[in-house]
Amino acid sequence: MKKLKEGFLWGNSVSSMQTEGAWNEGGKGMSVYDIREATENSSDWKVATDSYHRYHEDFDYMQQLGMNCYRFQISWSRVNPKGDGEFNEEGIAFYDKFIDDLIARGIEPMICLYHFDMPLHLAETYNGFIDRRVVDAFVTYGKEMMKRFAHKVKYWITFNEQNIFSYSEGFRISGYLKGERTIEELYVISHHAMMAHTYLANHLHDVYPNCQIGGMLAYQEIYPATSLPEDVYMARKLDEFLNHNLLEAFNNGKYSPEIVAYMKNNGLDKMILEGDLEEIAKMKSDWIAFSYYASTTVNSQNVGMDSPVNFYMNEGKQDNPYLDATEWNWQIDPLGFRNILTKLYNRYQIPIFPIENGIGVIEEWDGVNEIQDDYRIKYHHDHFQAMKDAIFLDGVDVVGYLGWGLIDILSSQGDMRKRYGVVYVNRENHDLKDMRRIPKKSFWWMKKVIESNGEEMEMDIPVTI
């Protein structure tokens, strides 16, 4: 078995609202998540996994695993309660200590500036990123965080999964509270997010040349459902609109020609202001970051003739009969992971950085015995092997691998039943219990993988599981 390169980053990724809690402590302002109520199968966001008070425990487990990188999110409303008002020094001091405590454990911090938790004031006043004034507020916030932390934080991203602004889910994550959710509005939001990223990426490179930044996508490999040419065409078009349009801007300083033509032909380019494209043209990325969990297929026969490309998957998504799926019907496809790594490196020829990956499963702890999560070991083993194949067989330069929520956190929908961790957090959706952290079987397997830098990956489970 081969080791990965020296300095390979092994780590964990999270968001603030899924971990921190302390929603009304330390001078924090309200975000759009703070007004979301619990449901039968979801929690509210007020406590999460209480990492605001307990992060030292989590850092100790990451250090024990051998991790050397942690991607976390600064809560915009914790450091600037209104989003466009005065900065909150108590909130900034929290992250300053947080970062120092990572570094003291030999864990490289990586900052994400936005993971969907728009300050409530900006959502209610401006309807989120549909308003250019929110772009200005975000840039002000981002520059201040760089000023405070760039001397000790090398790795940065602006937006988690920025391409989600390009499809229907973009309304939910952008602070958009009211409106008709038109395709025109979606293109405004997507372009505004790109301008916010552009200004901050260019600023970081100009002012803090020792730091690195890249754009990040949620990359779901979409296959044609059949060999019907229309299915193949639609899968390719989705890849261009949802992935490569942003990647072209991140890496080559311009939107994809196909999307530019689509925007012009459909009157979707009116929000591009004088100077925007020139600013994008200055942009570069130090690596391409992405999340990957699953693949799916698209069936063109189920998509209406007048449906915008960005909404194809609302109608055309179809399960792949050749793949197994999780309880949440996320289809497990390690080869899709390798394919993304290789095709991105072939096309853009800059390092690739997968910063989210994992399997969400309903799990319960009996209070005594170790959770035997062989399925998680199998999932990570196969995805690590796919990554190593991309590196050693396909020649891909991979910066590191960051798993998602490797210490259990609330899911993106607030559901504590969906667990990604190699460490169990003892709480449920409506019963906070004692929040105790308990390593699962996969913890010890992943510790062996990381300590050997990817060389030792043997599983003590049947490979057919």
What DSSP element (H or E) covers 141? helix 132-149
Count helices and strands (H / E) in the chain.
15, 16
Active-site option among 20, 57, 161, 185: 161
Side-chain-facing half-sphere of 137: CA atoms under 13 Å:
26
What DSSP element (H or E) covers 424? strand 423-425
- Close Cβ partners of 211 (under 8 Å, ≥ 6 residues apart): 146, 150, 153, 154, 155, 156, 204, 205
Residue 18 CA: distances (Å) to CA of 33, 63, 169 = 10, 21, 18
Q: Token digits for 49?
A: 């996994």
Task: Tell me phi and psi for residue 147, to 5 degrees.
Answer: -60, -40
Alpha-carbon distance of 78 to 163, in angstroms, equals 25
Sign of CA dihedral 447, 408, 334, 159: negative
| CA-based nearest residue to 12, from 380, 445, 449, 406 | 406
Q: Is 330 exposed, middle or buried (0-12, 13-18, 19+ CB in 10 A)?
A: middle
Active-site annotation holds for 356? yes
- Are the beta carbons of 51 and 138 closer than 8 angstroms? no
**How far is CA 448 from its chain centroid?**
26
Active-site annotation holds for 180? no
Q: Is 429 exposed, middle or buried (0-12, 13-18, 19+ CB in 10 A)?
A: middle
Active-site option among 20, 57, 221, 356: 356
- Are the beta carbons of 307 and 225 closer than 8 angstroms? no
Residue 361 CA: distances (Å) to CA of 218, 288, 375, 422, 459 = 20, 28, 9, 11, 19
- Are the beta carbons of 409 and 18 closer than 8 angstroms? yes
DSSP helix/strand/coil, 111: strand
Q: Is 453 exposed, middle or buried (0-12, 13-18, 19+ CB in 10 A)?
A: middle
Q: Which residues are catalytic?
A: 161, 356
